[in-house]
Amino acid sequence: MFDRILIANRGEIACRVIRTCRRLGIRTVAVYSTADADAQHVRLADEAWPIGGPRPAESYLRGDAIIEVALRSGAQAIHPGYGFLSENTDFARACAAAGIAFIGPRPESIDAMGSKAAAKALMERHAVPLVPGYHGDDQDPAHLADEAKRTGFPLMIKAAAGGGGKGMRIVRDAEGFAEALASAQREAANAFGDTRVILERYVEHPRHIEFQVFGDTHGNIIHLNERECSAQRRYQKVLEETPSPFLDEARRERMGAAAVAAARAVDYVGAGTVEFIVAQDGEFFFMEMNTRLQVEHPVTEETLGLDLVEWQLRVAAGEPLPLAQDAIRATGHAIEVRLYAEDPEANFLPGSGRLVSLDLPRASAHVRLDGGVVAGDTVTIFYDPMIAKLIVHDRDRTQALERLRAALADTEIVGPKSNVAFLERLARHPVVVEGRIDTGYLDRHLDEFLTGDAAPTDLDRFAAATAFLLGDEATRHAPAADPHSPWAASDAWRLGHPGKRVVALMEGGRRHEIDAHGHGGDYILHLDDRACTVSGARLGDGVLSARFDGQARRVPIAVHGSRIRLHDADERRWTFERAPAFAWTGEETAGARQLVAPMPGRIVLVRAAVGDSVEEGQELLVMEAMKMELALKAPRAGTIESISAAQGDFVDADAVLVRFAETA
Which residues are designated catalytic? 292
Count the Cβ atoms, other than its own, within 10 Å of residue 167.
28
Cα angle 621-624-625, degrees, rounded to a multiple of 5: 130
The CA distance from 234 to 342, in Å, is: 14
DSSP-based three-state secondary structure for 522: strand
Determine phi and psi for 488, rounding to 5 degrees: -75, -10
Q: Of 233, 241, 163, 168, which is closest to residue 199 (Cα–Cα)?
A: 168
- Partnered with residue 614 across adjacent β-strands are 638
The CA distance from 601 to 353, in Å, is: 15
Name the strand (E) or helix (H) holding 110: helix 107-114
Mark 535-553 as b/e (b = at least 16 C-beta within 10 Å).
eebebeeeebbbebeeeeb
Q: Is there a contact between 558 and 564 (Cβ–Cβ < 8 Å)?
A: yes
DSSP-based three-state secondary structure for 80: coil
Interstrand relation of 27-33 and 101-102 (parallel, antiparallel or unpaired): unpaired
The CA distance from 190 to 112, in Å, is: 22
Query: Which DSSP string do the residues of 163-188 spell out, in sequence order?
Result: -TTTT-EEE-SGGGHHHHHHHHHHHH
Beta strands in 419-529 (DSSP E): 501-507, 510-519, 522-527
The CA distance from 240 to 22, in Å, is: 27
Contacts of 538 (CB under 8 A, 6+ apart): 470, 521, 544, 545, 546
Q: Which DSSP state fits 130?
A: B
The CA distance from 259 to 263, in Å, is: 6
DSSP-based three-state secondary structure for 73: helix
Q: Of 122, 93, 95, which is closest to residue 8 (Cα–Cα)?
A: 95
Sign, Cα dihedral of 619, 623, 624, 625: negative
- Partnered with residue 533 across adjacent β-strands are 524
The CA distance from 514 to 581, in Å, is: 9
Q: Is there a contact between 373 and 387 (Cβ–Cβ < 8 Å)?
A: yes
The CA distance from 510 to 507, in Å, is: 5
Q: Is there a contact between 493 and 499 (Cβ–Cβ < 8 Å)?
A: yes
Q: CA dist 345 to 130, 339, 452, Å? A: 37, 15, 7
Give residue 12's identity as a one-letter amino acid code.
E
